[in-house]
Amino acid sequence: MLLPHGVMFHHFHGGRHAPGQGSLSADGLHRLLDFLDPSRLLSAEEWLRHAMGGSLQPGMLCLTFDDGLKCQYDIAAPVLAERGLTAFFFVPSAVLEGGTLKLEIYRHVRHACFPSMETFYAAFEESLMRSPHASAAREALHDFSPTSYLPALHYYTDADRRFRFLRDRVLGQERYEEIMDRIVADCGPTGRVDLAALPALLWMSPDDVRNLRRQGHVIGLHSHSHPTDIAALALPQQEEEYRRNRDCLSSLLDEHIVSMSHPCNAYSPATLTILRSLGIRMGFRSMLEGGSTDPLELPRQDHAHVFAMMNAS
């Protein structure tokens, strides 16, 4: 039987939120929740008590939402309220302090400015191969095998894996942002994006987060600025990411924050030590494989996996 685990959600579409790769509608979320066994689904507070008490049992489930996205508040939260369910919402703090996360801006531009992911991937590689990092990319791709990169993330296509390999293993955050910022400036074949309007469209406000907590949801850490590979940062930088995140959410909600999820599944034993030192007692990975009963490494299943099983049944 499966270890107790969370079901992980990110993007939703409907109303002013356009469809994108992997996004769900309210109806899709309803159907997915119907597919899950209600007897296995714990409230967020109940899951937290079991996790911190070491009493989670095989087959137990909970719902988790990463990245503090406005579409979650607008589309998913009303579905949960209708069903009397509560969930974990893991929120980066930069967006609550007036900042932005380039990761989400880049995703929005991919879907707003390019007719397909394939078109975007082609434009990304074309820009990369015109950059000073072209030779490093060609050398790295020479022996690259998509099937052996992120093999546990079954919902990724070969093109998804190739893109993430270039982003995370070849370029790193700074060089990746150089290339993406040029693409954002050009904004693809279909026109420009109003960057000034994006924060209100993409991310929850402080009041949204407070409202979720008042509705019984549990709010947890997801780092301050959501690096794509936080484990690659120096330990003082990792500590700063999570300390700022904790302090912001604690002040906003007037409570101790004790839960988190690992952005992009990136962490190391040293990261876990930092989290424990900050008072964090429960954390989620981003996949089932490699999960454990350690309360800071609890497994999750991406909703895309569940959706695929539902459609196959």
Alpha-carbon separation of residue 12 from 25, 65, 70, 111, 162 (angstroms):
6, 11, 9, 13, 25
Q: Which residues of 254-277 are buried (b: 16+ CB within 10 A; e: fewer)?
A: eeebbbbbbbbbbbeeebbebbee
Grouping H, G, I as helix, E, B as strand and the rest as coil, residue 298 is strand
With residues binned 3-state (H G I as helix, E B as strand, rest as coil), the percentages for the chain, rounded to 5, are 55, 10, 35
Cβ-based burial of 80 (10 A; exposed 0-12, middle 13-18, buried ≥19): buried
How far is it, in rounded angstroms, from Cα 147 to Cα 151?
6
Report, as an integer, the average pLDDT of 106-130: 92
* Angle at alpha carbon of residue 229, lines to 228 and 233, rounded to 5°: 125
Average pLDDT over the chain reads: 92
**Of residues 231, 223, 259, the one with CA closest to residue 64:** 259
Cβ-based burial of 90 (10 A; exposed 0-12, middle 13-18, buried ≥19): buried
pLDDT for residue 295: 93
Question: Which residues lie below 8 Å from residue 69, measured CB to CB, with a gap of 6+?
Answer: 10, 11, 12, 104, 202, 203, 204
How far is it, in rounded angstroms, from Cα 200 to Cα 198?
6
pLDDT in tens, 234-265: 999 999 999 999 999 999 999 999 999 999 99
pLDDT for residue 188: 54
Q: CATH number for 11-100+203-312: choose from 3.40.225.10, 3.20.20.370, 3.40.50.2000, 3.30.43.10.
A: 3.20.20.370
User: DSSP state, 169?
Assistant: I
Which residue ranges does the chain devote to CATH 3.20.20.370?
11-100+203-312
89: number of Cβ within 10 Å: 30
Confidence of residue 152 (pLDDT cuts 50, 70, 90): confident
pLDDT for residue 192: 67
Report, as an integer, the average pLDDT of 98-114: 90
How far is it, in rounded angstroms, from Cα 32 to Cα 311?
10
Question: Of 30 and 38, which is predicted with more confidence?
Answer: 30
pLDDT in tens, 194-218: 778 889 999 999 999 999 999 999 9
